[in-house]
Amino acid sequence: MTAPHRTPAPPGRDGTADWVRYWRADGRPMEAMRAHFTGHVFHRHSHDAYSFAVTESGAQRFVCRGARHVSGAGMVMAFNPDDPHDGEAAAEDGFTYRIVHLGPDLVRSVLTDALGRTAPMPLFPHPVREDPLLRQALLRLHAALAGGAAADALVQDERLTEAVLAMVRRGARTPGPAAAPRAGSAAVRRARALLEEQWAQEVPAERLAEAAGCSRYALYRAFRTELGFPPSDFQRQLRLRAARRMLRQGASAAEAAAVCGFADQAHLHRWFVRCYGMTPGAYARGRL
């Protein structure tokens, strides 16, 4: 695990600087962040990981799965992979929170080890809940991950298992039989496949609709309904994730911007901050 890096975030409403501390494991899909925001507004985004958070002080509000939620001090948040959400302060003094991001394969491996058989991927139906036991398990995991390079790997693994099992036992469900396909699902799958294949390229709306086999308007509406994003935002998420991968591998922000479909480094910087609350440079420095 890496040593922490503290980086300034956008100024708060009262003129004070918000801040972010970020850590990333080397070689394993585990990230931890502690941050304070007052004025920063997160653009709607998602992660390719499970995200578990605890609000330490203040309150934050966000929209997820079609509903507005508020997380106050001591409350726990749980986002499934690809859960679109935004976020902003819901209190005058902003909010401070701790969050961990865990790769789906890592979560599955913890559950498989605990069950002694291949485990299905859990889904967390409630983005916000009050649960002191969950809160304690997540704070213990965050403390182990944020311990820097000197943190005990055995302690990290033990607290990872503790936190994942606590979340599953106290709030998750496993997917049931597949639901009947909704109208537009086939079109959305075809459009999504094209964007995932050509995420770095310009894909005009006409071409996307042709691949989907429906009108541009029908695709836009179905895409937003099923994935929580319009196609352009979904493609930007794919580009941001690709940029994160490059930054983790040691690329510069300028290199990541050029490869990942952004107009220039400033364009990448702007969207990185909007969606993740930190700069590409701060993300890159969160490793040894």
pLDDT tens-digit map of 166-204: 988 877 776 654 444 444 589 999 999 999 999 999 999
Return the pLDDT at 172: 76
97 pairs with which residues across the strands?
35, 55
With 0-12 CB in 10 A as exposed, 13-18 as middle and 19+ as buried, what is 141?
buried
The string of pLDDT tens digits covering residues 110-167 is 999 988 888 888 999 999 999 999 999 999 999 998 875 546 788 889 999 999 999 8
Return the pLDDT at 184: 54
What is the residue whose two structure tokens read 């578990």? Answer: 52
- 20: nearest Cα among 9, 32, 12, 11: 9
Return the pLDDT at 287: 59
47 φ, ψ to 5°?
-125, 155
Q: DSSP assignment, residue 74? A: T
Percentage above 70 pLDDT, the chain: 89
Return the pLDDT at 12: 44
**Banded pLDDT at 208 (limits 50, 70, 90):** very high
Return the pLDDT at 180: 41
Amino acid at the residue 98: R
7 pairs with which residues across the strands?
20
Return the pLDDT at 16: 54
Q: Please tell me the distance from the alpha carbon of residue 223 to that of residue 188, in angstroms, as a whole number.
A: 6
Return the pLDDT at 25: 84
Return the pLDDT at 2: 44
DSSP, residue by residue, 54-96:
EEEEEEEEEEETTEEEEEETT-EEEE-TT--EEEEE-STT-EE
Q: Would you state the structure tokens that stand for residue 214, as one six-digit string?
A: 């429906």
With 0-12 CB in 10 A as exposed, 13-18 as middle and 19+ as buried, what is 208?
buried
